[in-house]
Structure 1
Amino acid sequence: MKAVVLAGGEGRRLRPATLATPKPLIPIDGIPILHIILTQLERAGFTHVSLSLGYRAHMIKASFGGSCSPDLELDFFQEEEPLGTAGPLALLPPFEDSTLVMNADLLTDIDFADLVRRHKKSQAAATVALSRQDIDIAHGVVELDEEGRVTDFREKPRLSYLVSGGIYVLEPSLLRLLPPRGRHDMPALLDRARAEGERIEGHVIEGDWHDIGTPEQLDLAAAAFRADRGRYLGRGAAAALCAGSGASQEVVGG
């Protein structure tokens, strides 16, 4: 199985930490988040990962000097300008099979291999991993009809939403809808696919999912990881595998 990890962002919301360190190398309880992700992918049976890099790319490549393990091949694709969450895919060779695409700024215990299996079984053009997020409203919520009459009043309700987890499985055919160059984001690509009649599936993550886009979110992710590393790295594992050298390739594009 193959995967693409989008690791080119600047992480502006995490400043000042990301002024010196690229966001994918921000440590979660001492381990760079990108190393955790690559360890998870290797343990899920992925054999090849393409890393799309941009901001401080040299630091990311130097952080592991090649591959995480002899069983995981890495290659690097350099963004000469920010290309969004889908634009970097235009730099890669055409997909040969269903391919996992994910952001490098999240912590999750999702079963990546199971997500790919579910996607293939659905015969969809794309599957989006979703996280259920609850929001507590501190005030009473009032609903009105068109004439201004109160139709509902809920005191401090908890609202529930499904948000994109930044993890996708894409079919090769979907990339025909991607512009050959320039910035393009995944929601626009998937909307375009739906408009052309393609089937887009959603898979709700049953376990844990954390965005690490802000210092507060990073702290929550670090606390969860610190409390149960085995949940994310596998039972019996004390550390990530990404610490050695191995085969790697580099491609520059933009």
Structure 2
Amino acid sequence: MRAVVLAGGEGRRLRPATLTVPKPLMPLDGIPILHIILTQLKRAGCTHVTLSLGYQAHMIKASFDENRWSGLELDFSLENEALGTAGPLSLLPPFEDSTLVMNADLLTDIDFADLWARHKKSQASATVALSRQEVDIAHGVVDIDDERRVTDFREKPRLSFLVSAGIYVLEPSLLRFLPQAARHDMPALLDDARAHGEPIEGYVIDGDWHDIGTREQLSFATEAFRADPARYLGRTAAAELCAGTGAPWAVGG
């Protein structure tokens, strides 16, 4: 399995913390988000990861001594200007096979190996990981028809949505819809592909997912990770963390 981790964002909503520490290195209970992600990818069978960098790229590269980390082969791609959530892929060599692409600002217990297997079995051009999110509406919701007659009234309903989790498996053919070295976001890329008849599948995460875009979200993710690190890292890595015996995310480790 090969993966690309998009780690170039500025993390403006996390300021002032991200003025000195890039968002992918923000710690969850002392462990950088990016190191948690790399540990998960390795456990899933990933052998080669490209880190797509932008803001404070030198700090992220400095957190890895060599182009290998805990048994993973690493390489780095640098965007000189913000290219969105899909644009950075245009700077990479053409994909040779299916590639997992994900954001570096999330915490999840998704089974990456199962996502990969489901994608390969589906023969889709792309598989999008989805998280079910629920929103409580504090007021009565009213529906009306074209004649302004009330057709339904729901008191303080809970609405359920599937949202993109920022994790994808892409086929090489999909990248022909990507403009070269221009800002482009993943929804636009997938919409272009769908418009040309490319099959796009969804994979619903049967577990936990946290976006880490704001200080409040960072706090929620930190509490979730602190409460049960084994849920995200597996028992072995979590035990090493608790015992402080050379955990695999240590610099150079």
User: Shorter-chain TM-score category?
Assistant: over 0.9
Corresponding position of 2:16: 16
Question: Partners of 2:252 and 2:225 in 1: how far apart?
Answer: 25
TM-score, scaled to structure 1: 0.94
Corresponding position of 1:245: 252
Question: Partners of 1:163 and 1:241 in 2: how far apart?
Answer: 31
1:40-189 → structure 2 map (5 Å cutoff): 40-66=40-66, 67-69=68-70, 71-189=71-189
Aligned-pair CA distance for 1:131: 0.2
1:186-205 → structure 2 map (5 Å cutoff): 186-205=186-205
Question: Partners of 1:215 and 1:73 in 2: how far apart?
Answer: 32
- What amino acid maps onto 2:206 in structure 1? E
SS of aligned partner of 1:76: strand
Aligned-pair CA distance for 1:64: 2.4
Aligned-pair CA distance for 1:152: 0.4
Q: Are the counterparts in 1 of residues 65 and 251 from structure 2 also a CA contact under 8 Å? A: yes
Q: Residue deviations 1:101-145, cap 9 Å, x none?
A: 000000000011110110010000000000000000000001111
Question: Partners of 2:201 and 2:248 in 1: how far apart?
Answer: 32
- What amino acid maps onto 2:80 in structure 1? E
Aligned-pair CA distance for 1:16: 0.9
Q: Residue deviations 1:158-189, cap 9 Å, x none?
A: 00000000000000100111111211110000
Question: Partners of 2:65 and 2:107 in 1: how far apart?
Answer: 23
Question: Partners of 2:75 and 2:181 in 1: how far apart?
Answer: 20
Unaligned 5+ segments in structure 2 are 242-246
Aligned-pair CA distance for 1:242: 2.4
Q: Residue deviations 1:196-220, cap 9 Å, x none?
A: 0000000000010000001111111
TM-score, scaled to structure 2: 0.95
Corresponding position of 2:244: none
SS of aligned partner of 2:82: coil
CA RMSD of aligned residues (A): 1.0
Aligned-residue identity in percent: 79
Corresponding position of 2:210: 210
Unaligned 5+ segments in structure 1 are 247-254
Question: Partners of 1:242 and 1:179 in 2: how far apart?
Answer: 35
Aligned-pair CA distance for 1:235: 1.2
Corresponding position of 1:249: none
Question: Partners of 1:68 and 1:44 in 2: how far apart?
Answer: 15
Q: Are the counterparts in 2 of residues 68 and 243 from structure 1 also a CA contact under 8 Å? A: no
Query: How many pairs does the alignment contain?
Result: 245
SS of aligned partner of 1:60: helix
- What amino acid maps onto 1:94 in structure 2? P
Q: Are the counterparts in 2 of residues 105 and 213 from structure 1 also a CA contact under 8 Å? A: yes
Question: Partners of 1:142 and 1:245 in 2: how far apart?
Answer: 58
Q: Are the counterparts in 2 of residues 39 and 68 from structure 1 also a CA contact under 8 Å? A: no
- What amino acid maps onto 1:48 in structure 2? H
The structure, 1 or 2, with the larger RCO (C-alpha pairs under 8 Å, 6+ apart) is 1
